[in-house]
Amino acid sequence: MAMLPLAQLYARDVPDLRPPTGADLLQVLWCPFDHPPMSFMPRTVVFWRSEAAVTDILTTPPEPPVVQFDGYLPEPCLLAPEQITEYPNPLELSKDVRAQLGDWSMWQAAGGAVDSRYASYPEEFYSADLSVAPGWKVGGWAPWGYTDPRPQSCPACDSAMVPLLTIPTFEWDDSTRSWIPDDRGDREHTSPSSVRTRPEGQAVIDFFRAQGIEAHDRGRVPRDARVAPLGTDTVPRQPTAVQIASGQRQQLYICPTSPEHPHTELMQ
Ligand SMILES: [Zn+2]
Ligand SMILES: [Zn+2]
């Protein structure tokens, strides 16, 4: 069965891609069928390549004769890479920290641009605006919820793996409007990434730092690079038309010590 091209990312557009030595280009392909009993998702293949060595460029990607679901045939999109900072999923935080996130006075003291409509549900501000951005992205934190947090270890060397690429069904929605990409549709896809300033305020950053939690933590990329697809679709939530199960996300993990070790993937 022919593999379908899914994503092509250049290190020059996504500085945190961290390719292995000699490579500057990530190509992800997938087999557009579920793979039961282990996986009810397409199976991905990851290629690290050197742009200079890629000479066999096809102008039209091969169309597969058949895909299992329409949602496994991605709509071609340009990418608008944008660097963002996101905090962990609340499920990865201790009970103590979660309790403090529910304390409105902490957010007020932080002096950030926290919308007062969150006063009754301060933890919603964290979930919606600070933790785990929606959409396609490189690196970042895992969007747990479909399962409980589950550390991923490298099948070859047992190192703790880190998220490489998140393939979501949906981009932002009404509850996550602060994550709408900057300058949507208004940017050269090759322009340098902009850096998003989050609304949390320095006191909140310090609060997380005191808990040992940072976007820089645990060997993850210093900033998480979202690769927002610029679709022509009138439905901005699904520019790629990709659908994983009933609206889940497929997340690829990579070995940080040896990127050439086999990657793993899970549904979230
Ligand atoms: Zn297959
Ligand atoms: Zn490894």
Instruction: Count the alpha carbons within 13 Å of 102 in the hemisphere toward its beta carbon.
Output: 8
- 36 C-alpha to center of ligand 1: Å? 10
Task: Give dist(CA 140, CA 225) in Å, integer.
Answer: 8
Confidence of residue 1 (pLDDT cuts 50, 70, 90): low
Cα separations in angstroms, 35 against 44, 82, 242? 11, 32, 17
The rounded distance, in Å, linking the Cα atoms of 197 and 184 is 16
**What are phi and psi for residue 102, nearest 5 degrees?**
-90, 5
CB 108 within 8 A of CB 157: no
Ligand at shortest distance from the CA of 260: 2
Edge-first strand listing for the sheet containing 43-49 = 4-10, 25-31, 43-49
The per-residue pLDDT for range 133-143, each reduced to its tens digit, is 888 888 888 88
Mean pLDDT across 214-223 = 34
User: Is 246 a residue whose pLDDT tops 90?
Assistant: yes
Eight-state DSSP code of residue 126: I
Q: Are 25 and 10 in contact (CB under 8 A)?
A: yes
**Of 234 and 211, more confident:** 211
Residues bordering ligand 2, an ion, CB closer than 5 Å: 154, 156-157, 159, 255, 258, 261
Helices (H) and strands (E) in the chain, counts: 4, 9
> Distance, CA 263 to ligand 2 centroid (Å)?
9
Distance 154 CA to ligand 1 centre (A): 22
For the segment 177-181, the average pLDDT, to the nearest whole number, is: 77
Distance of CA 190 to the CA centre of its chain: 19
Q: How far apart (Å, rounded) are the C-alpha atoms in residues 100 and 189?
A: 40
Which residue matches tokens 């902009």? 194
Helices (H), 112-181: 122-125
The answer, yes or no, to whether residue 34 has pLDDT greater than 90, is yes
ipTM reported for the complex, 2 dp: 0.96
Ligand 2 geometric centre to CA of 75 (Å): 32
List all residues 6 or more positions away from 35 whose beta carbon is below 8 Å from its beta carbon.
41, 42, 43
- pLDDT at residue 125 above 70? yes
DSSP 8-state symbol, 168: E
CA of 33 to the centre of ligand 2 (A): 27
Instruction: Quote the CA–CA distance of 39 and 30 in Å, as a whole number.
Output: 13
Q: pLDDT tens digits, residue range 93-104?
A: 889 889 988 888
**Highest mean predicted confidence (pLDDT) among 65-79, 121-135, 181-195, 254-268:** 254-268
Highest mean pLDDT: which range of 66-70, 185-189, 191-195: 66-70
Ligand nearest to the CA of 263: 2
The whole-number pLDDT of residue 203 equals 67
